[in-house]
A = this chain, B = another copy of it.
Amino acid sequence: MATTSQAARGPNVRVQLVQMTVIPGQPEINTAAILCALDAARKVCADVVVFPEMAIPGYLIGDGWERDAFLRECEACGERLREASDGIIIVFGNVAMDWARCNEDGRVRKYNALFVAQDRRFIGPQNGPYPFVIKILQPNYRAFDESRYFYDLRKLALESGRPLEEMIAPVAAGRWTLGCVVCEDAWDENYSVSPLRMLTQQPVDLLINISCSPFTFNKNQKRGAIFSAHAAALGKPLVYVNNVGIQNDGKTICIFDGSSSVYDGAGGCVSLPAFEEGVLTQEIPLNGAAFGVSVELKDEGIGEIYRALLYGVRAFLAQCEISRVIVGVSGGIDSAVVAALFSRLLDREQLLLANLPGPFTSPTTVALARRLAGDLRCYYTELPIGAGVSLTKTQVDGLEITSRDGALKTRLQLTDFMVENVQARDRSARVLAALAAAFGGVFTCNANKAETTVGYATLYGDLAGFLAPIADLWKGEVYQLARYLNEQVFQREVIPQGCFDLAPSAELSPAQDVDQGKGDPLIYPYHDRLFASWVERWVQTTPEEILEWYQAGDLEKQLSYEGKVADIFPDARSFVADLERWWKQYQGMGVVKRVQAPPILAVKRRTFGFDHRESQMTPWFSRRYQELKALILQGSL
């Protein structure tokens, strides 16, 4: 099949972008949706209809790739699309199989592939070994494990003794020559290979990228910039199709925004709305004429996170078939935000707020919880945990234990600190879990990202729940989201002002008395920024860098902290003590707790769970850190 001559090309190609929900692990259901969308594309006389990457199997399916029965079914579904391709060009993503070869783990050979079907035939790249396009660049960062499952084109080139350039070629489908790539292939800035550039060494009418690319705060701007730049640099229109829906790795729930677009090479673009299914029928001129509108992608701030969370939680509830939710509301800001969020998704009778006052709970916070429940108009109950906590104290504190032979004897003591955790567990594992069962639903984990970082939460206590919807937000962002909910979403004060004014507190001891302005040991405006430097930077900082910045006097600037560190820590000794305390917690008990923590909705570039892989290890301080510390502490004497 030779490259179509310029003369034979029509001036335009009509492309239908299908921004569909891909259900991971359900090839039959996805295929039915694709066939349905195909009918619609025929009705608008589309020449080419484009579906997302891995539109048939889904993408984040864990080790489900290791089931041959599943792979056979995906292959059979792909065949059905081939058979349905009379008179239309279908571009879709699927796993492609070579049953005669194996992957490097000894399992059957699998490729992450793009298929082009037309007139009941699959059309592969010119001179390629297979009738499909193989993904070249494989992401192995964040929540992605692509090399775990798929053989890439670079390995195939080595295996077959052919130069890679020879294996990267456009697909000639009917009157058009399509330059097809899969997702990461367009994000080539750090690779030694640039698939799009290599493809356009040959005549190409239209570039197509199919993706399964999750939402990340502020990523859409980067995506727009990268794809616009490709279209402009290569002088070709570029079609980008991404799915919507959610897919997860167990611990990390990725939200897919879609944002499918056509870029015209002149800086213009036409896009589908984010976070919803949709189709876009686009007439694309192949003579280089511009057709898009110039859009300036701007930082939408917390509103973008709100939309992502709302969409993600809704999808997760639907997937788990959950229709009733309990939120333990303490009167604090975190649980108030979670309650307000769920009230946007559930009818009032599907939502129950429960305040569970303990021995150190102030009437102030109970009143705030009540007021919130009134504002949200949902079910509300108050169930004190005093009796449960007392029972545990009675049973355990002072308990004499012995060995059966009587040789060992001792008496156990439950300290006040231990009783703090007893309260938290009584609330969640005893009361909330039972309430949730009786209400016919589940209960939430209201932890924020700062608490999650340092494990400032009790395992089987406030760290329990079916989902941690705001555990990817720093405390400051939780306040922002609360304000956004009141001002933009509800346009009234559903989250009482008192929740904003209150000192953040767990109310588990007299030292955490909110009425005296006491509370958490975390100074959130500072610790949010400190922890973010450990967790969210692409290159993670450690106490070594923090001390270096502290010594150089530009820690505030480096952390984008708006206050003054000296206002919090009067001397180097207290600064260092705080730094070490939280670093040890982050690296020590923080990890222990996160291993058993609920799934988190991912909205940032770095979410605890599968996106941020951790080992339980002894906390590490570098030799350079120890030297700096000695120097600084000496200086401060």
Contacts and interface: CB of A to CB of B under 8 A. Distances in A.
Interface of A: 23-26, 28, 58, 60-64, 66-70, 72-73, 76, 102-108, 137-141, 145, 147-148, 154-155, 158-159, 164, 189-193, 247-251, 319-320, 348-349, 352, 370, 373-374, 377-381, 383, 387-388, 391-392, 395-397, 399, 401-405, 407-408, 410, 412-414, 418, 421-422, 425-426, 428-431, 433-435, 437-439, 459-461, 464, 466, 538-542, 544-545, 591-592, 594-599, 610, 612-618, 620, 622-625
Contacts of A379: 401-403, 408, 410
A279 to B, nearest CB: 25
8 contacts: A66-B539, A69-B544, A106-B538, A250-B594, A320-B616, A377-B403, A387-B395, A412-B438
A381 B403 contact: no
A63 B622 contact: no
A250 B69 contact: no
Contact of A464 (B190, B460, B598): B460
Contact of A421 (B392, B399, B433): B433
A154 B404 CA distance: 63
B319 A61 contact: no
A61 B615 contact: yes
A410 to B, nearest CB: 8
A441 to B, nearest CB: 11
Given A26-B620, A596-B596, A618-B319, A429 B431 contact: no
Given A380-B401, A380-B403, A437-B418, A158 B164 contact: yes
Contact of A388 (B64, B391, B541): B391
Nearest to A107: B539
A615 to B, nearest CB: 4
A158 B66 contact: no
Contacts of A247: 615
A354 to B, nearest CB: 9
Q: Chain copies in the assembly?
A: 2
Contact of A190 (B106, B320, B377): B106
Contacts of A383: 395-396, 399
Contacts of A26: 617-618, 620
Given A159-B192, A380-B404, A137 B104 contact: yes
A398 to B, nearest CB: 9
A67 B615 CA distance: 14
A67 B540 contact: yes
A628 to B, nearest CB: 11
A368 to B, nearest CB: 13
Contacts of A380: 401-404
A199 to B, nearest CB: 17
A614 B437 contact: no
B69 A542 contact: yes
B61 A617 contact: yes
A248 B538 contact: no
Nearest to A445: B596
Nearest to A352: B401
Contacts of A431: 392, 395-396
A378 B397 contact: no
A460 B442 CA distance: 14
Contact of A429 (B418, B430, B595): B430
Contacts of A408: 348-349, 378-379
A447 to B, nearest CB: 13
A151 to B, nearest CB: 10
B103 A624 contact: no
Contacts of A391: 387-388, 391
A614 to B, nearest CB: 4
Given A380-B403, A616-B250, A624 B73 contact: yes
Contacts of A418: 434, 437-438
A130 B37 CA distance: 54
Q: Which 3 A-B pairs have the closest CB atoms?
A: A429-B429, A374-B404, A412-B438
A595 B598 contact: yes
A387 B396 CA distance: 13
A430 B388 contact: yes
A255 to B, nearest CB: 14
A368 B33 CA distance: 58
A613 B144 CA distance: 12
A618 B23 contact: yes
Contacts of A159: 192
A446 to B, nearest CB: 16
A379 to B, nearest CB: 5
A88 to B, nearest CB: 24
Contact of A613 (B63, B320, B402, B617): B63
Given A158-B164, A247-B615, A460-B460, 5 more contacts: A250-B591, A250-B616, A320-B616, A397-B438, A418-B438
Contacts of A544: 69
A373 B401 CA distance: 12
Contacts of A148: 140-141, 145, 613
Contacts of A388: 388, 391-392, 430
